[in-house]
Amino acid sequence: MLEDKTISKPGLKGFQENLIQRLGPDEGRALNVLGADFFYLVDQLSINLQKKHPQDAPLLDLNESEFPWELQVFTNQFLRECAQTSRQLTFFCHGLRKKLEDAEFSKEFWKILNEAYQQHFFVADSKKNYLV
């Protein structure tokens, strides 16, 4: 389900690149300790969420460049909460990346992620009080 490739849209920055831009090069690179699987998952999961919910950006009052960043921040928070502790995060992400290759696990994972997405980006003014 998740392919090992870089961000495909021109101008779309990965989460680590966005962090380096916002925090500065030293602080951003210090986050390498989180591991390649963590940054890979944040990028790929947020890209897939954006593909599944393309109409949500205007509902959230976000433009095309803000929405991907907000999805990356959400995915970052989601993964950190799943791991429970920062010490477990690297191992959790490594295991999760492997488990997502299993179709049944992936289906259940996406149900949980989509539910968390709906709760995180809850919009009181939308028709159903949830995003699309």
Per-residue tens of pLDDT for the chain, all 132 residues: 444 444 445 557 899 999 888 888 888 778 888 999 999 999 999 999 999 988 887 777 787 778 899 999 999 999 999 998 888 999 999 999 999 999 999 999 999 999 999 888 875 555 554 454
pTM for the whole structure: 0.81
Q: Scanning the structure block, which residue is given the tokens 């799943």?
A: 82
> Does residue 129 form part of some domain?
no
Closest CA to 113 of 80, 65, 70, 78: 78
> Does residue 101 form part of some domain?
yes
The kind and range of the H/E element at 100 are none
> Does residue 70 form part of some domain?
yes
> Does residue 15 form part of some domain?
no
> Does residue 131 form part of some domain?
no
> Does residue 130 form part of some domain?
no
> Does residue 79 form part of some domain?
yes
